[in-house]
Amino acid sequence: MASAPSAAPPGLSLPPRYLVFLGDVTEPGYAKTAFGLRDWAPERCVGEVALPQATVTTGLPRVGVGEAAALGARGLVIGIANRGGVIPDAWVAVLQEALRSGLDLVSGMHSRLADLPGLAELAAEHGRRLIDVRVPPTDLPVASGRKRTGKRILTVGTDCALGKKYTALSIARGLSARGIDATFRASGQTGIMIAGSGIPIDAVVADFIAGAAECLSPDAAPDHVDVIEGQGSLFHPAYGAVSLGLLQGSQPDAFVVCHAPGRSEILGHPGQPVPSVEDVIAQTIALGRVTNPAICCAGISLNTAGLDDAAAAEAIETVAARTGLPAADPIRGGAPFDRLLDACAR
Q: What is the pLDDT of residues 21-56, one digit of tens each?
A: 999 999 998 999 999 999 999 999 999 999 999 999
- The architecture CATH gives domain 151-345: 3-Layer(aba) Sandwich (3.40)
Give percent above pLDDT 90 in the chain: 92
pLDDT of residue 14: 87
Q: Which CATH architecture has domain 18-132?
A: 3-Layer(aba) Sandwich (3.40)
Q: pLDDT tens-digit profile of 205-243?
A: 999 999 999 999 999 999 999 999 999 999 999 999 999
Where residue 5 falls among pLDDT bands split at 50, 70, 90?
A: very low
> pLDDT digit string (tens) for 152-191?
999 999 999 999 999 999 999 999 999 999 999 999 999 9
First-last CA distance in the chain: 27
Q: Helices 240-250 and 277-288 meet at what angle, rounded to 10?
A: 50
Q: What stretches of the chain show up as alpha helix (H) in DSSP?
A: 32-40, 65-70, 92-100, 119-125, 164-177, 189-195, 209-216, 240-250, 277-288, 309-323, 334-345
pLDDT class of 10 with cuts at 50, 70, 90: very low
Residue type, 329: D
- pLDDT computed for residue 8 by the predictor: 43
| Buried b or exposed e, range 255-280, using 16+ CB within 10 angstroms | bbbbbbbebeebbbeeebebbebeeb
Mean pLDDT taken over the chain:
94
Which amino acid appears at position 327 of this protein?
A: A
Query: CATH 3.40.50.720: which residues of the chain?
Result: 18-132
Q: Span 125-137, mean pLDDT?
A: 94
- CB-hemisphere CA count at 13 Å for 245? 24
Q: How confident is the model at residue 141 (pLDDT cuts 50, 70, 90)?
A: very high
Cβ-proximal residues to 42 (8 Å cutoff; 6+ apart), any chain: none
Alpha-carbon gap, residue 259 to 277, rounded angstroms: 7
Q: What is the pTM of this model?
A: 0.91
Alpha helices in 178-208 (DSSP H): 189-195
Q: What is the pLDDT of residue 203?
A: 94
User: Which strands sit side by side in the sheet containing 75-78, from one edge to the other?
Assistant: 45-49, 18-21, 75-78, 104-107, 130-132
* Cβ atoms 134, 198 nearer than 8 A: no
Output DSSP code: residue 62. Answer: B
| Plot region of 43 (φ>0 → left; ψ -120 to 50 → alpha; else → beta) | alpha
Q: Which of 193, 178, 181, 134 is nearest to 153 (CA)?
A: 181
Residue 62 scores a pLDDT above 50: yes
- Within the chain, all domains assigned CATH 3.40.50.300 are found at 151-345
By percentage, how much of the chain surpasses pLDDT 70?
Answer: 97
Question: What pLDDT does 4 receive?
Answer: 38
The identity of residue 320, as a single letter, is A
**pLDDT for 248-273, tens place per residue?**
999 999 999 999 999 999 998 999 99
Residue 100: count other Cβ atoms within 10 Å of its Cβ: 15
pLDDT reading at 91 higher than 70: yes
Task: Tell which residue, 253, 246, 251, has the closest CA to residue 223.
Answer: 253
Q: What is the pLDDT of residue 283?
A: 98
